[in-house]
């Protein structure tokens, strides 16, 4: 027996109650919100250390389903939820040592950019070939996020999740904007293709133009990636160099590692002396130069003779120049500096980090932050100053570009080392403050993308791991474990040619931002014309 809820209308007649359907509608309203969060989590899962790069496609397909045709208010909320689902787990490492406050604040701010992108995607979702406009809107959002606030935070660019993916060769075509655009376009195109198939089954009305646009949205990125493969090469163009990376390890993980600065320096000296002994014993090839990580000498060797002495001893033992990561003070300015240390001449060339990390190497809004938590201000007692010149060391005829740690996330900071002559790139880093979090693997993936983007060998010497040698095609040929002392020695190709991405620089990103602006302008104009028509 079926029981139907009833109510009495104004005429006194019994009518089926609307309560169940109203409740159902309320529950249905939650489905897009839940889908947005889950798709954001799916996008996070596509990032390293996992190799599930392809999950980015269904993540964006589901996001498109949630957004298409929504009002701007609904799209704003759904975009924010997608951003939280993606960024909360992706950036959890930012709170490893300082607690959840900074992590949650960072995510809350960064998700606003994703929310605004959601509004833009919803606005263009009714335009012809909308996946193109929508994917460009996403890249425009990344472009803004990479620049503001506090000089930007590009972490979480879609391109950085594609180091193991089929789309990776597109990095050589137009850098991270083109690579990210292709992935997002393909995801949106998959949703549009599925939507049109369902619509065709329901209405029996073919929409050939829309179907062709959807199929091209999927096919063009894939075909483009295949066509770009010849741009990816590990062939030596200017000879080769044998390079050694030193990972000395730290006394302990966390912020306290810097309290034992001499111990960190000694660890790197010890591992270099071990390399020297193995070279003498024939167990390791003699390198042309040795690369130490960022913060390998937090003791200023220019003002501390004992630090200079042990570095000189290590350089003499191995018999080749060392690139040392030091913290130095010059004219009252604190600098994160790479120092090329010759075994005979001592320090000869330097590079000062230009993109210093907000809230890590300098403290914006110091007064406000101190009012919230004085412990945070004590962690950054003195702000680091920024360097002004690109870093390219000329080491025995090889030109080594330098992008220190956080700088690897910024397109310009890596590119201008190549445009200034770098034949290979080194990304000296210090991840000890983030313990065994995924941060190390996320950053390593960035370096793999940079290798393909500029067709250069990229070396990543890290204080505590993972240190690695990356070929110009993005392959990791050697790597260390985490929190172990180790060295790597490898012969690597030196290259001089420029990829289209290197030559074009910021132009592909500007073009995609203009496409996004054009789509948004079209959508806004169409909406205004529609309102005038209704009003008439």
Residues serving a catalytic function are: 294, 353, 405
Nearest CA-CA partner of 22 in 10, 36, 5: 5
Can you name the residues that pair with 490 across neighbouring β-strands? 243
Gap between the Cα atoms of 184 and 231, Å rounded: 22
Six token digits for residue 136 = 């460009």
Q: E strand or H helix at 452, and its extent? A: helix 439-454
104 exposed, middle or buried (CB, 10 Å; 0-12, 13-18, 19+)?
A: middle
Side by side, which strands form the sheet with 289-291?
346-352, 333-342, 322-330, 289-291, 240-247, 486-493
| Residues with Cβ within 8 Å of residue 208, at least 6 apart in sequence | none
Residue 29: CB atoms within 10 Å:
10
| Cα radius of gyration (the chain) | 27
Residue ranges of the alpha helices (H) in 281-393? 305-318, 366-372, 374-379
Q: Tell me how many degrees the CA angle 81-44-500 measures, rounded to the nearest 5.
A: 110
For 462, list phi and psi in degrees, rounded to 5: -125, 145
Six token digits for residue 395 = 């080491």
* Stated length of the chain: 536
Six token digits for residue 198 = 């369902």
Helix (H, G, I), strand (E, B) or coil at 7: strand
E-strand stretches of 126-282 = 240-247
Nearest CA-CA partner of 291 in 258, 241, 325: 325
Nearest CA-CA partner of 426 in 160, 243, 236: 243
CB environment 129-140: b (16+ within 10 A), e (fewer) = bbbbbbbbbbbb
| Residues with Cβ within 8 Å of residue 419, at least 6 apart in sequence | 498, 502, 505
Gap between the Cα atoms of 81 and 84, Å rounded: 5
Identify whether the C-beta of residue 200 lies closer than 8 Å to the C-beta of residue 207.
yes
């Amino acid at each position: 027996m079926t029981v139907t809820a009833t109510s009495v209308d104004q005429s006194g007649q019994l009518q089926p109650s609307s309560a169940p359907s109203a409740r159902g509608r309320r529950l249905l309203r939650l489905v897009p919100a839940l889908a947005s969060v889950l798709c954001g989590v799916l996008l996070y899962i596509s990032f390293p250390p996992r190799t599930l790069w392809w999950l980015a496609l269904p993540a964006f397909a589901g996001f498109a389903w949630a957004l298409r045709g929504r009002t701007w208010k609904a799209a704003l909320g759904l975009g924010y939820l997608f951003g939280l689902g993606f960024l909360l787990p992706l950036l959890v490492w930012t709170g490893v040592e300082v607690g959840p406050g900074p992590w949650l604040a960072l995510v809350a701010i960064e998700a606003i950019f994703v929310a605004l992108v959601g509004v833009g995607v919803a606005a263009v979702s009714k335009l012809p070939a909308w996946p193109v406009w929508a994917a460009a809107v996403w890249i425009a959002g990344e472009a803004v996020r990479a620049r503001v606030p506090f000089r930007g935070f590009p972490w979480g660019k879609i391109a950085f999740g594609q180091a193991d993916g089929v789309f990776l060769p597109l990095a050589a075509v137009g850098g991270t904007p083109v690579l990210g655009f292709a992935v997002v376009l393909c995801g949106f195109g998959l949703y549009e293709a599925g939507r049109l198939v369902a619509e065709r089954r329901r209405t029996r009305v073919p929409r050939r133009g829309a179907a062709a646009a959807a199929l091209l949205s999927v096919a063009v990125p894939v075909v483009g990636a295949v066509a770009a493969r010849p741009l990816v090469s590990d062939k030596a163009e200017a000879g080769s160099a044998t390079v050694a990376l030193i990972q000395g390890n730290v006394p302990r993980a966390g912020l306290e590692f810097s309290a034992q600065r001499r111990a960190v320096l000694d660890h790197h000296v010890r591992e270099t002396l071990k390399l020297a002994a193995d070279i003498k014993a024939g167990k390791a090839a003699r390198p042309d130069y040795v690369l130490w990580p960022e913060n390998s000498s937090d003791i200023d060797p220019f003002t501390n003779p004992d630090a200079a002495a042990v570095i000189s001893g290590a350089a003499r033992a191995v018999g080749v120049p060392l690139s040392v990561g030091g913290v130095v003070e010059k004219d009252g300015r604190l600098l994160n500096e790479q120092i090329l240390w010759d075994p005979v001449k001592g320090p000869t060339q330097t590079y000062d980090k230009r993109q210093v990390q907000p809230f890590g190497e300098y403290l914006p809004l110091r007064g406000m932050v101190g009012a919230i938590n004085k412990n945070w201000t004590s962690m950054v007692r003195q702000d680091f100053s920024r360097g002004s010149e690109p870093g390219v060391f000329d080491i025995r005829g090889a030109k080594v570009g330098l992008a220190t740690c956080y700088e690897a996330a910024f397109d310009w900071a890596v590119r201008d080392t190549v445009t200034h002559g770098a034949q290979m790139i080194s990304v000296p880093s210090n991840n000890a403050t983030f313990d065994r979090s995924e941060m190390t693997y996320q950053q390593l993936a960035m370096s793999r993308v940079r290798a393909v983007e500029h067709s250069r060998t990229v070396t990543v010497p890290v204080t505590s791991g993972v240190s690695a040698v990356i070929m110009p095609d993005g392959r990791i040929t050697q790597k260390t474990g985490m929190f172990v002392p180790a060295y790597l020695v490898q012969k690597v190709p030196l290259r001089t040619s420029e990829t289209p991405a290197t030559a074009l620089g910021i132009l592909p990103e500007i073009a995609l931002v203009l496409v996004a602006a054009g789509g948004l302008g079209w959508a806004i104009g169409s909406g205004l014309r529609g309102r005038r028509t209704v009003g008439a």
